Structure 1
Amino acid sequence: MTELKEKIIRQAKQMFWDYGLKRVGIDDICTELHISKKTFYTVFKTKNELIEEILKSVRIEKKQMEEIADNDNIIEYLISKTNTFRNKPRRDDEKFFQIHFDMKKYYSELFDKHCRLIKEDAEVNTLSILNMGIAQGLFRQDMDLTLTKKLISEIFSNMLEYSNTNKIPFIHMMDFCMDTMFRVVCNDKGLEYYNSISNKQ
């Protein structure tokens, strides 16, 4: 990736976050970067192409954030991820929701493709988590891994939509889904460990 392309992506991502996808145009991005539109178009042909590249970078960052070290306790790892969301400022949640629904409304084709790829990544990550939990002696060995990974991925992929439609705070929705998941996949040892950590929260 060229330096100019990185600058455009970084600037556009920040502006979309601050002002929303619909309100920020190519002119605005070029003004902030002190470049001409002609220069912009040597890198991206359209705003849609720029957004698609940003979504690609978001998926890469998400994968990197979800990497699990071999010595991580899988239950502690998953709870720490939930706590990361819990500690985010409420304003960040509002911005995230707005971008999500702007994408769905104004860039539906890109949105659908992004959601499909996120779901595919989620299934791979979920299977890795389940296998790690089994290897650590914390998750049940008798569960159907193929079905379980699909169900869990489906639930977590649709949390945002469901929480917004039903006016449920997102973090409450996440807590409920995480708790349900642990009670489905944990064996007795894992459930005892999970409950001991939950009681300290």
Structure 2
Amino acid sequence: MKDRILKSAVDLFWRYGVKSVTMDDIAKELGISKKTIYQQFSDKDAIVKEVVEIELNSEQCDIDRLEAEANDPIEEVMRTSDYMRASFATMNPVLLNDLKKYHPKAWASFQKHKHEHIIQSISGNLQRGVAAGLYRNDIDVDVLARMRVEQIEMAFDPAIFPPQKFAMIEVHTQLIHHFLRGILTAQGFEVYNNYAEKSAQEVNQS
């Protein structure tokens, strides 16, 4: 039952955001009473926190797999970009902002994950790219890793990118490619352009 509640909550939160989904909505989606939910979770905040932690762990496993499968750091970034596009396609753009404003425990889990895993993952990619001669050797890895992770969070901010005007997926795509192009060497650009051309061909064929 606990797993069913969490799965239903994920679906509803991703579709409608966190704030607008009530315990009644979750109960109705599952065809159960709120009492049954409260037997598993003390309140909505507890559901949100567990949902966020599960999704972050799942995402980290996927990112680790992409890193292991990629032939080089640029392919890793390009594949991560595709992964993010697929993930964000079903995500309500207000989701992250709802966590920040209304669920401090879940937001703290996200911030912990951001600093312990996402920044570390980006730093590793930057270091590998420099070592391979694909990224400029004069970049400051610590600065750029933090800048990149803040870009990801910024794209969710409705005050900067109002969802009625900007598609979140396109904002993320623009930011990640702008970031990547700014650190490439001449050799890196050749590799990047090959991936970009291949990606464009696949889009045209689909």
Flag whether TM exceeds 0.5 (same fold). Answer: yes
Deviates more, 1:56-65 or 1:166-175: 166-175
- TM-superposed deviation, 1:88: 7.2
The TM-score normalised by the length of structure 1 is: 0.77
Letter of the structure 2 residue corresponding to residue 144 of structure 1 = D
Letter of the structure 2 residue corresponding to residue 61 of structure 1 = S
Letter of the structure 2 residue corresponding to residue 43 of structure 1 = Q
- 1:122-144 CA distances to partner (integer Å, 9 max, x unpaired)? 21111121122234332223322
1:29 corresponds to 2:44: no
Letter of the structure 2 residue corresponding to residue 119 of structure 1 = K
1:119 corresponds to 2:75: no
Distance 1:78 1:59, change over 3 A: same
2:130 corresponds to which residue?
134
Letter of the structure 2 residue corresponding to residue 134 of structure 1 = V
- TM-superposed deviation, 1:42: 3.3
2:204 corresponds to which residue?
none
Task: Tell me, in whole angstroms, the C-alpha distance in 1 between the residues paired with 2:149 and 2:87.
Answer: 23
- TM-superposed deviation, 1:9: 0.8
Report 1 or 2 for greater relative contact order, CA contacts < 8 Å, sequence distance ≥ 6.
2
1:186 corresponds to which residue?
184
Task: Tell me, in whole angstroms, the C-alpha distance in 2 between the residues paired with 1:27 and 1:86.
Answer: 31
- TM-superposed deviation, 1:170: 2.7
Distance 1:77 1:15, change over 3 A: same
Number of matched residues? 194
Secondary structure of the residue aligned to 2:165 is: coil
Task: Tell me, in whole angstroms, the C-alpha distance in 2 between the residues paired with 1:155 and 1:17.
Answer: 21
The TM-score normalised by the length of structure 2 is: 0.76
Q: How does 1:36-55 map to 2 (within 5 A)?
A: 36-55=33-52
Letter of the structure 2 residue corresponding to residue 196 of structure 1 = N
Task: Tell me, in whole angstroms, the C-alpha distance in 2 between the residues paired with 1:126 and 1:116.
Answer: 15
Conserved? CA contact 1:12–1:29, under 8 Å:
yes
- 1:84-107 CA distances to partner (integer Å, 9 max, x unpaired)? 4556796x3xx52143344445x1
1:160 corresponds to which residue?
156
- TM-superposed deviation, 1:165: 7.3
Distance 1:54 1:146, change over 3 A: same
Secondary structure of the residue aligned to 1:66 is: helix
Task: Tell me, in whole angstroms, the C-alpha distance in 2 between the residues paired with 1:57 and 1:84.
Answer: 17
The counterpart of 2:59, out of the listed 41, 58, 62, is: 62
Secondary structure of the residue aligned to 1:160 is: coil
